[in-house]
Amino acid sequence: MYKLILKISFILFFIYPAHSADVSIDMLNKLDREINVYSKKLVNVDVGDTIFWKSVNPGHNVEFIKGGIPEGAEKFKSSYSKDVSYTFKVPGIYAYWCTPHKSIGMIGFVVVGNDKSNLDSIKKIKFFGKSKKIAEKLLSSL
């Protein structure tokens, strides 16, 4: 019986690939009392997970902020008003914003692999306007 269980476990291990936890974030003109906002501001994922940003309302995009991604991660900037996805391959914190709405609070953070080793770099980013207060609040929760 033990050998049978071992064989089945071995077969299942190679037949079924590891599942990643994909996350969906809406790009919105309004959510509750906020305008120009991502539906989720702080997301935790594992290396290999994918985030899908959905263009629910037009005029928004996703841009990784300069100095706001881990060393070795690729720069990323999506087109406006388009659904987009990104698979995270490098652990660390990723800071992003909507390019035209970065000063009015349309920002977000992704923590990959629970790695916060680049938090000091993230704290040095120059956020503008309303985004500054939102960033401080979100980063203090890490």
Domains of the chain, by residue range, sit at 20-140
Residues whose CB is less than 8 angstroms from the CB of residue 81 and which lie 6 or more positions away in sequence, other chains included = 55, 58, 59, 60, 61
Strand, helix or coil for residue 60: coil
Output the CATH code of domain 20-140: 2.60.40.420
What are the pLDDT tens digits along the chain (142 aa)?
Answer: 545 444 444 333 333 334 457 999 999 999 999 999 999 999 999 999 999 999 999 999 999 999 999 999 999 999 999 999 999 999 999 999 999 999 999 999 999 999 999 999 999 999 999 999 999 999 999 9
Spatial contact of 45 and 23, defined as CB atoms under 8 Å apart: yes
How far is residue 103 CA from its own chain's centroid?
19
- How far the first Cα of the chain sits from its last, in Å, is 48
- The alpha-helical segments, DSSP class H, found in the chain are 2-15, 119-123, 129-140
Q: What is the pLDDT of residue 1?
A: 56
Q: Measured on CA atoms in the order 87, 77, 62, 91, is the torsion positive or negative?
A: positive
Which residue, 109, 106, 107, 130, is CA-closest to 118?
109
For residue 108, what pLDDT is reported? 99
Per-residue pLDDT, 7: 46
The pTM of the full predicted model, rounded to 2 decimals, is 0.85
Question: What integer pLDDT is reported at residue 20 of this predicted model?
Answer: 53
